[in-house]
Amino acid sequence: MNDSQRRDVHYKPLSPPPARLKKSKTLNIIGISAGYHDAACCLIRDGVLISAAQEERFSRVKNDKSLPRRALRYCLEDGAIAIGDIDCIAYYENPTLKLGRQIWMGMQPNISDRRIDMIAGRMMSPTPQATIRSSFGYDGPIEIFEHHASHAASSFYLSGFEEAAILTVDGVGDWATTTYGFGKNAQIERFEQVDFPHSLGFFYSAITAYLGFEVNEGEYKVMGLAPYGKPLYANKLRSLIDVWPEGQYRLNMDYFAFLTQETMFSEKLCELMDHPARVPESQLDQFHMDVAKSAQLVLEQVLLEKVSYLHSRVPSENLCMAGGVALNVVANSRCLREGPFKRLFVQPAAGDAGGAVGAAAMAYVQIAGKRLEKNPLQHVYLGPRNLPSDIERLLNASNAAFLNFSGKESELIQYAIDRVQEGKVIAWSQGRMEFGPRSLGARSILADPRDPEMRDRINALVKMREAFRPFAPVVLESQAHKHFDLDHPSPFMLETCTVISDLALPAITHVDGSARVQTVNHSTNRRLSLLLEEFDRRTGCPILLNTSLNMRGDPIACTLYDVLMCFVQSQIDILVVEDFVIERAGIPTLWSLEALKYQAAKAKPGESISHSIYTLL
Amino acid sequence: MTLSFEDLQKGFANRLAQLASTSDGARALSMFKHSGLLVQRSIEAKGRGSALKELLGWELPDQPLDSDHIGIWRRPKNSVDFMRDIDKRQEWNYWANTPRIDGKAKRGKKRIIFLGESVARGYCYDPQFTPAKVLEVMLRSQFGPDGIEVVDLAQLGIGFQVGELALSALALEPDAAIIFSGNNWRPDQVGSMDISCADSALRQQSIPALKKLFERNLSEKTSLLIQTVGSAYEKKQIPMLWVIPEFNLRDWRDPISNAPYLPADSNSKWSFCWERAVICLQEGNISEAEELARSMIELDGGVSSAGFYLLADCNMHQKNDKASRNYLEAARDANIWSGSMCNLSPRPFSISQQIMREKAVTFEKSGILDLPRFFEEYLNGDLPDRRLFLDYCHMTSEAIQVSMAAVASHITSVITGTNLPWSNFLDQDAKPNRGVEAEAMFLAAVHNAHNCQNYELIHHYCSTALKLAPELSEVMVKFAEVQARGISVFLSTSGEELIEMPWPSVQRHLFGQHEPQLDQKLTGAITASLRTIGIDISMSLNKIRKEARSISIRPTNLLESYYISSADQPQETQWTVPGTSPYRQQDYYRAFSNKSRFFFIGDALCPTSLVLTFRLPNSLSGIIEIRVNEEYQHQIPGDCEWKTWDILLDPSAIGEGVNELTIHWPTPTYPTSAALHLAADAIQQGMPPQLYCSFGDIHSFIAEYQPGV
Ligand SMILES: [Fe+2]
């Protein structure tokens, strides 16, 4: 106490103040996915999914696959429980099965030396269970579930369906790459699976790599590029997949190299296509668009066939999907439109991050004997929030010029819509962060979708994305049907539909007239709904352009600090963070130095995942 | 059902995976690998790689004379000169601020290249005053203003890469080279050593044997470096001077840690001796203290610094500087094996120093400047201390001047054949001005505070800074404010004001590297030194702290690095430091001594509660004790299961401003054998081994305001 002045008080209480043991009375299950890509952690408390977040949002390493230690701490804090209050940790894949698959890869002829070393290393590394124990200090029960069982559970248990057919499709987890099953009440069963190396996910990723995009990241780009092309190569690409009876299919491994090398496709694919692979960042021409269209078509065709097969075995009206391929919203929508099922539920974190939720849900079912409460999933605002008092304190201690709208929500809405009408681009950070890969209005960039210049403008200001990709709209749920060919809510931006609006919406409409819609209502995102209502009242347009709040290559912003740094590094016009507004001109000059420091502090490569190939190991 | 060939193979792979997933299976595989019987295919194919690559991390260039890259400088195509490489912009700050280096010296001008680490950069003085500039001024007194140049190639933090740099720098066609390096020459992590030996050492409960492995590794690396660089320069007939660095023996103290796991019940004996010896020393009972310290070293086999520090203190008490020096050097070297575990500051190890002495002089054209001996002479036999050092190894301007004078004397002699005493080169022009010196002193105070040094030393540098330049008080005031508020410096108004102040060294060294810290001891020393020149900031600092961080504003996470960095317990706090993940053992607080320190900001008498989740190690049950500002609060039972406690503190114990909380742990049982087997398993798996005994674990620890109570 060198520089604090302690008052000398001689008062002593009559009895010493008490210390008491504190024990949680709830059933607390932690779900974890890690080690592959998109590590995540979630907490299911008494059957309710109350917190979930990906590790990348905290570590700031895109697709961080390391054990989600920060995300775990967040879940414990959010649930107001301690490490000793965890009743079970559920892990999302079976490490022994996965090791079996890796060893089998090591037994292939012509395998690279590097691969051999990596596989040998894997055999001697500590298991995820051991790492969870040593790293978290956790000594309670750990339940292991298979990778695709976690995918299936993550979808069905949150779907709200009493019974449904379940299809999971991804690159690979442990052994399976595609599974067929059904769910009924608390029970899930799988009756068929396709095993590695045959994988629809890897088929699509190989084409992604061939088109010069990053694997496990650029698949969206292929999907976005497809509408510009013609399916001229569909027959050729279809020959890469041998579709077998029932749920089975086989990849023609002559065209794929991922089994033995550090690339996805083989030279033979280039021969087949009569073109070399596209060099990343080089010119995109019609050929590439036609290949994208062809690959998308082949994926859709195979999926449709398999969805029909699934329906023949499970004649339900409901379909649940999960796994990375279920993030292909164009294919999903087509399966729903043209397939035999009436309703489709896709888990919003359909990739491996969502596996954490699936595993935890299965553990809950095992322990409690029943399904999750609050089903179907209402929203994915399951991440951390920024407290207005913290924001105010930081801004007050800085030289930033800011506006304080505390207690004046309608004025804040008026202000924001004034700016949107002036053509300004707004960084919008409100409430709890989204779980899953999409920004859904909690850490978003918003703008006027009617402005024909807006797509280029946002790309220039912050996103630097390929010009061919449109942005997505967010629309008031009550008005959605007037502007989009959509007869049900789409709260998670997991479907595409045709734009039928009388308004011209160039910034969010794809070249084929489609859009990837998110609908919002007052109960799930009140402030964003208010914003849309005001925009609608003034302009007759209940729609805003919505894209994620991050710099290119960065994870979506999470904390106030991330939000500020993204705002500083970009050229976005206005930041609205909770009740506070900073305009571009109000940013102190030195904040750009902080942004440099922020960039430099980013974790070193090595913790992040490779994008030249799916991280198979 | 017929199984395909593929199915059969997959079944085999699955069975092997099941076997490998058992602990015996995994261990057998791993031992096989480390036995060398299962050589990794890629290494075999490449022929085991060169020793250089494996040990030092770089390889001999094919044509060193034609190298187009020297550090951050690059020679563009068709150019003779080197320009700073824009692609390496992020690294520019680690080097001299030199946009361009001529490919060749001007006609008639001698060219000396000067390589080294932060010591050679002139840490805390750079860019205003650097060893290279001092050396150039001194040499010009002999060679004339246009007769010689010193090219500054020193880089902050360079380790064994200095060899690679020295080889590429041959492209500059130097007339002589100086390498002033060695503080960052460290042995590898244990995972890159001979695992079979490390495994055996641990399973036989011998950390001293493990230490020998580290020493052998460092000695191999140092020898190889000197051999490689020395012979390359010899071949070109270019004279070289290796400057052997010295360490701040008297003033620097490594944060004291317990001994690692020792065989049988030696740990308890060791702890008993330690506690007793400290008391004896305080009471002036030197002979008993000495005897106890010797027992400690006998018990731990020299793998802990504590016994050596005690012996050094005893000898200093008796004014026996020669013996003190030996013990202080032994203390400095004792933790060579635990570098990453104890967050050891850079230092020259005796092994490296000795190899430089022996090996560098085997080349006809190479010489050494032995700073340990040179400084001893300069100080008339005194131990090196704050007169020569700013911290563990960075030198004061005085040390820079005298050492560069000695370098200048050597260089003059090898180039001209004239032998002049070093004192001839001391030059008034080569002194920093008062302001620069003051800045360096203040930066030293910050650096020492952030490296757990004692209050007296930190206060010394603060008050020296103010004596030299009272106007530096503006920097100190603002710095204290920034730390009190705890917002990253560039974001806050105080930070902005601080950066606009005209203090170049402060600007270069103080910002961008530190996250805000409570800095309890440093702000205390700043406040006390400012008071002596009539400035009182205690009230205003306290106000800022309370506004920004009081528990009445929001609950405080006592494990947050802002607070816990003030505990001076680096072993305990390392897990909170970002970027250390490869060596992270556990993602929670682990105590390695019987007392853990925590801090929070409170208001006098404010009702405060704690939420503590903790456990005791090794199936121990016992009682922990909680104190606030040294006042006893509670005893709480604990065992090996995590338990969470709500704890109300006596409000009368809570002071205004910074409050210190301590947890006193029960004595552990030291399960040496089991623990070292686990450590060996960890090494096998490429994980960091746990070699110190835990006293208690804390998973979360929150302090909050309890208005209702
Ligand atoms: Fe997956």
Q: Which two tokens stand for residue B332?
A: 């400095």
Residues A230 and A121 in one domain: no
Q: What residues of chain B lie within 8 A of the CB of A590, using their CB? A: 490-491, 495-496, 499
Do the chains contact at A397 and B485, CB–CB below 8 Å? Answer: yes
C-alpha B432 to ligand 1 mean position (Å): 62
Tell me the sheet residues that pair with A180.
A167, A192
Considering only alpha carbons, which residue of chain B is nearest residue A13? B650
A242 pLDDT higher than 50 = yes
| Cis before B470? omega within 30 | no
Answer yes or no: is A382 within a domain: no
Do the chains contact at A21 and B20, CB–CB below 8 Å? Answer: no
Give B425 to chain A, closest Cα distance, Å. Answer: 41
pLDDT of residue B102: 92
Neighbours of B412 (CB within 10 A): 22
Q: What residues of chain B lie within 8 A of the CB of A55, using their CB? A: none
Please list, in sequence order, all residues whose beta carbon lies within 8 angstroms of the beta carbon of residue B479, skipping any fewer than 6 positions away.
B446, B498, B510, B526
Q: What residues of chain A lie within 8 A of the CB of B88, using their CB? A: none
Nearest CA to A294 among A372, A347, A230? A230
B665 pLDDT higher than 90 = yes
Sign of CA dihedral A52, A57, A62, A67: negative
Answer yes or no: is A112 within a domain: yes
Mean pLDDT confidence for A275-302: 95
Q: What percent of chain B has pLDDT over 90?
A: 72
Q: What is the pLDDT of residues B113-136, one digit of tens each?
A: 999 999 999 999 988 999 999 999
- CATH code of B368's domain: 3.40.50.1110
Q: What is the mean pLDDT of chain B?
A: 90
Q: How many CA atoms lie within 13 A of A25 on its CB side?
A: 0
Mean pLDDT confidence for B234-238: 94
Residues B613 and B540 in one domain: no
DSSP assignment letter at A474: E
Residues B563 and B480 in one domain: no
Question: Contact A39/A66 with Cβ under 8 angstroms?
Answer: yes
Mean pLDDT confidence for B381-397: 96
Alpha-carbon gap, residue A117 to B617, rounded angstroms: 36
Q: What is the pLDDT of residues A76-122, one digit of tens each?
A: 999 999 999 999 999 999 999 999 999 999 888 888 888 888 888 88
pLDDT of residue A10: 42
Answer yes or no: is B56 within a domain: no
Mean pLDDT confidence for A344-362: 95
Q: Predicted confidence band at B90 (pLDDT cuts at 50, 70, 90)?
A: confident
A26 pLDDT higher than 70 = yes
Specify the range with the lowest mean pLDDT, choosing from A151-165, B560-574, B593-607: B560-574
Residues A355 and A398 in one domain: no
Which helix (H) or strand (E) covers residue B598, if one does?
strand B595-602
A392 pLDDT higher than 60 = yes
Alpha-carbon gap, residue A125 to A146, rounded angstroms: 20
Rg (CA), chain A: 25
A609 pLDDT higher than 50 = no
Specify the range with the lowest mean pLDDT, choosing from A513-517, B303-307, B343-347: B343-347
pTM given for the model: 0.93
Residues B241 and B205 in one domain: yes
Residues A312 and A461 in one domain: no
Alpha-carbon gap, residue B525 to B515, rounded angstroms: 20
Give A334 to chain B, closest Cα distance, Å. Answer: 34
Residues A447 and A461 in one domain: yes
Q: What residues of chain B lie within 8 A of the CB of A134, using their CB? A: 585-586, 687
A11 pLDDT higher than 50 = no
Alpha-carbon gap, residue A427 to A405, rounded angstroms: 16
Domain limits for position A209: 200-344
Do the chains contact at A99 and B613, CB–CB below 8 Å? Answer: no
Q: Which string of b and e fits B346-383 if b means at least 16 CB within 10 Å?
A: bbbbbbbbebbeebbeebebbbbbbbbebbbebeeeeb
B333 pLDDT higher than 90 = yes
B707 pLDDT higher than 90 = no
Report how far apart, in Å, the C-alpha atoms of B160 and of each of B55, B57, B113, B239, B462 are: 9, 8, 17, 20, 34
Q: What residues of chain A lie within 8 A of the CB of B528, using their CB? A: 2
Do the chains contact at B42 and A104, CB–CB below 8 Å? Answer: no
Answer yes or no: is B529 within a domain: yes
Q: Which of B94, B487, B491 to mutate to test the interface with A (most CBs of A within 10 A)?
A: B491
Residues B650 and B567 in one domain: yes
Give A159 to chain B, closest Cα distance, Å. Answer: 34
Residues A482 and A586 in one domain: yes
Do the chains contact at B700 and A96, CB–CB below 8 Å? Answer: no
Specify the range with the lowest mean pLDDT, choosing from B274-283, B413-422, B504-513: B504-513
Of the residues B534, B549, B564, which one is the last residue of a structural domain? B549
Give A457 to chain B, closest Cα distance, Å. Answer: 28
Alpha-carbon gap, residue B581 to B601, rounded angstroms: 29
Q: Which position has the higher pLDDT, B576 or B175?
A: B175
Answer yes or no: is B275 within a domain: yes
pLDDT of residue B34: 75
Residues B115 and B215 in one domain: yes
Residues B501 and B569 in one domain: no
Please tell me the total count of domains within chain A: 3
Nearest CA to A377 among A343, A344, A348? A348
Answer yes or no: is B57 within a domain: no
Residues A320 and A354 in one domain: no
Please list, in sequence order, all residues whose beta carbon lies within 8 angstroms of the beta carbon of residue B281, skipping any fewer than 6 positions away.
B289, B310, B313, B314, B317
Contact pairs from chain A to chain B, CB under 8 Å: 235
Nearest CA to B222 among B344, B391, B336? B336
Those of residues 164-183 in A touching chain B at CB distance below 8 A are 175
pLDDT of residue A615: 45
Q: Which two tokens stand for residue B292?
A: 């106890």
| A401 reaches B (C-beta below 8 A) | no
B39 pLDDT higher than 60 = no
Residues A36 and A141 in one domain: yes
Residues A405 and A361 in one domain: no
Helix axes A69-78, A128-136, angle to 10 degrees: 60
Which helix (H) or strand (E) covers residue A57, if one does?
helix A56-59
Answer yes or no: is B240 within a domain: yes
Nearest CB neighbour to A3, from listed B14, B21, B527:
B527
Residues A412 and A492 in one domain: yes
Q: Which position has the higher pLDDT, B29 or A317?
A: A317
Q: How many CA atoms lie within 13 A of A203 on its CB side?
A: 30
Answer yes or no: is A608 within a domain: no
Which helix (H) or strand (E) covers residue A8, if one does?
none
Residues B578 and B539 in one domain: no
| A590 reaches B (C-beta below 8 A) | yes
Nearest CB neighbour to A84, from listed B613, B649, B655:
B613
pLDDT of residue A223: 94
pLDDT of residue B683: 85
Considering only alpha carbons, which residue of chain B is nearest residue A4? B657
pLDDT of residue B47: 44
Q: What is the mean pLDDT of chain A?
A: 91
The owner of tokens 């991280």 is: A615
Mean pLDDT confidence for A178-207: 96
The owner of tokens 């978290």 is: A136
Please list, in sequence order, all residues whose beta carbon lies within 8 angstroms of the beta carbon of residue A534, skipping any fewer than 6 positions away.
A413, A414, A417
Answer yes or no: is A222 within a domain: yes
Mean pLDDT confidence for B21-29: 83
Mean pLDDT confidence for B542-553: 94
Answer yes or no: is A139 within a domain: yes
Residues B135 and B244 in one domain: yes
Residue type, A465: R
Of the residues B432, B461, B490, which one is the last residue of a structural domain? B432
Specify the range with the lowest mean pLDDT, choosing from A110-119, A167-176, B510-519, B628-637: B510-519
Answer yes or no: is B55 within a domain: no
Alpha-carbon gap, residue B170 to B177, rounded angstroms: 9
Nearest CB neighbour to B493, from listed A13, A127, A399:
A399
Domain limits for position B9: 5-39
Q: What residues of chain B lie within 8 A of the CB of A99, using their CB? A: 17, 20-21
Nearest CB neighbour to A82, from listed B14, B528, B613:
B613
A16 pLDDT higher than 80 = no
Q: What residues of chain B lie within 8 A of the CB of A18, using their CB? A: 648
Q: What is the pLDDT of residues A522-541, one digit of tens each?
A: 999 999 999 999 999 999 99
Q: Predicted confidence band at A13 (pLDDT cuts at 50, 70, 90)?
A: very low
Answer yes or no: is B221 within a domain: yes
Phi, psi of B591 (to 5 degrees): -90, 135
Residues B240 and B160 in one domain: yes
Answer yes or no: is B80 within a domain: yes
Phi, psi of A30 (to 5 degrees): -100, 130
Residues B205 and B294 in one domain: no
Answer yes or no: is A178 within a domain: no
Q: Is B69 helix (H, G, I), strand (E, B) or coil?
A: strand
Q: Are strands B82-84 and A574-577 parallel, antiparallel or unpaired?
A: unpaired
Alpha-carbon gap, residue A184 to A156, rounded angstroms: 9
Supply the DSSP string of B208-268, one letter for each residue.
HHHHHHHHHHHHHHHHHHHHHHHHHHHHTT--EEEEEP---TTT--PPP------STTHHH
Residues A357 and A332 in one domain: no
Do the chains contact at B26 and A123, CB–CB below 8 Å? Answer: yes
Q: Predicted confidence band at A450 (pLDDT cuts at 50, 70, 90)?
A: very high
Question: Contact A295/A207 with Cβ under 8 angstroms?
Answer: yes
| B47 reaches A (C-beta below 8 A) | no
Residues A425 and A520 in one domain: yes
Residues B284 and B333 in one domain: yes
Residues measured by CB to lie within 5 Å of ligand 1, the ion = A 170, 173, 352
Residues A131 and A235 in one domain: no
Please list, in sequence order, all residues whose beta carbon lies within 8 angstroms of the beta carbon of residue A118, skipping any fewer than 6 positions away.
A617
Phi, psi of B463 (to 5 degrees): -75, -30
Please list, in sequence order, all residues whose beta carbon lies within 8 angstroms of the beta carbon of residue A445, skipping any fewer than 6 positions away.
A425, A426, A427, A428, A439, A458, A462, A463, A545, A546, A547, A548, A549, A572
ipTM: 0.92
Beta-strand ranges (E) seen in A365-504 are: 402-404, 426-429, 443-447, 472-476, 496-498
Where does residue A535 rank: exposed (0-12), middle (13-18), buried (19+ CB within 10 A)? buried
Residues B423 and B439 in one domain: no
Those of residues 268-327 in A touching chain B at CB distance below 8 A are none
Backbone conformation region of residue A33, classed left if phi is above 0, alpha if psi is from -120 to 50, else beta: beta
B657 pLDDT higher than 70 = yes
Please tell me the total count of domains within chain B: 5
Q: Which two tokens stand for residue A280?
A: 């990343």
C-alpha A357 to ligand 1 mean position (Å): 13
C-alpha A177 to ligand 1 mean position (Å): 8
B73 pLDDT higher than 90 = yes
| B499 reaches A (C-beta below 8 A) | yes
Phi, psi of A169 (to 5 degrees): -145, 125
Q: Which two tokens stand for residue B375?
A: 């400084």
Neighbours of A11 (CB within 10 A): 8
Answer yes or no: is A614 within a domain: no
Give B43 to chain A, closest Cα distance, Å. Answer: 9
Mean pLDDT confidence for A166-189: 96
Q: Is B71 helix (H, G, I), strand (E, B) or coil?
A: coil
| Dihedral angle over CA of A53, A59, A65, A69, nearest 10 | -70
Answer yes or no: is A447 within a domain: yes
Q: What is the pLDDT of residues B565-588, one digit of tens each?
A: 999 998 898 887 665 544 456 899
